[in-house]
Amino acid sequence: MSELTPDQERRYNRQLIMPEIGQEGQVRLRASSVLVVGTGGLGSPVLFYLAGAGVGRLGILDDDQVDLSNLQRQILHRTDGLGMDKVESARQALQRLNPDVALDLHKCRLTEENASSLIAPYDVVVGAVDNLATRYVLNAACVMMRKPLVEAGVSGFSGMATTIIPTKTPCYHCLFPRPEAGLQEPRYKGIIGALAGLMGTIEALETIKLLLGQGELLTGRLLFVDSLSMGFREIDVERNPECPICKDENGTTRSPSRASPNDH
């Protein structure tokens, strides 16, 4: 792989001097691609930090336009961008930050029909969505395509995060089985912007570790954050051998273990 340019050496200096990254890691990041599903409160910091770190290609997926009520937490977007497509608003912000990063704009909603083809070209997928239905669609597609999925969710002052390596770690459905009889979206409790920033930043860190092959991932672990008490707790989780989404064809022997979001 080619060396870094002098500008890249300078831009990434603070991470190039880290033993966990260095030239080799930086070249690896440059050769990597990540799809970020959603450019809201979670997706904004994910995209900013991945672009800042020099991830070579970022896919930006959102079908929405910038609304005044977004700006309290969705830090990619600006007041002068009201009404603009969020993917375009994100493109402008990220290009200003780091013109080296290639950006793919996907102005659409993730559906069962398009999910596989959308995630296929990317190394890692980040879930930064605000509804349960899309979370299940994304999880199923990532399991089918064997794509690592970094997940997080936020509600009020509380957040959750986990990292999913399909067939090796519990998938989202193992942890939160989708109810048979329809899907009831939880009552919207509002959200404090700084918490979305914190959980999105955790997702960005998980993604960078995944791409570099460094550190311990949040795999088989669910991290819960209660920002009112500033309590960070985690629980160990296991795959559900009967999970209809990620069950091995030849069967697994591990015992089922399920977590509820209320376990903390």
Binding positions for Zn ion, rule: CB under 5 A: 171, 173-174, 243, 245-246
The one-letter amino acid code at 199 reads M
In whole angstroms, what is the distance from residue 101 CA to residue 117 CA?
22
CA distance 216 to 213: 9
Closer Cβ to Zn ion, 26 or 163, answer by number: 163
Element (H, E) at 174: helix 172-175
Chain position whose Cβ is nearest to Zn ion: 243
Nearer to Zn ion, 93 or 150 (CB): 150
In angstroms, give the least distance from the CB of 166 to Zn ion: 8
For the bound state, the minimum distance from the C-beta of residue 21 to Zn ion, rounded and expressed in Å, comes to 32
Buried b (16+ CB within 10 A) or exposed e, 225-234: bebeeeeeee
CB of 218 to Zn ion, least distance (A): 16
Q: Between 8 and 257, whose beta carbon lies closer to Zn ion?
A: 257
Q: Minimal distance in Å, beta carbon 247 to Zn ion?
A: 7
CB 10 within 8 A of CB 36: no
Q: Which two tokens stand for residue 133?
A: 């239905």
Of 217 and 246, which has the nearer Cβ to Zn ion?
246
* Smallest distance, Zn ion to C-beta of residue 170, A: 6
Whether residue 150 contacts residue 163, with contact meaning beta carbons closer than 8 Å, is answered with: yes
* Helix (H) or strand (E) segment spanning residue 150: strand 149-155
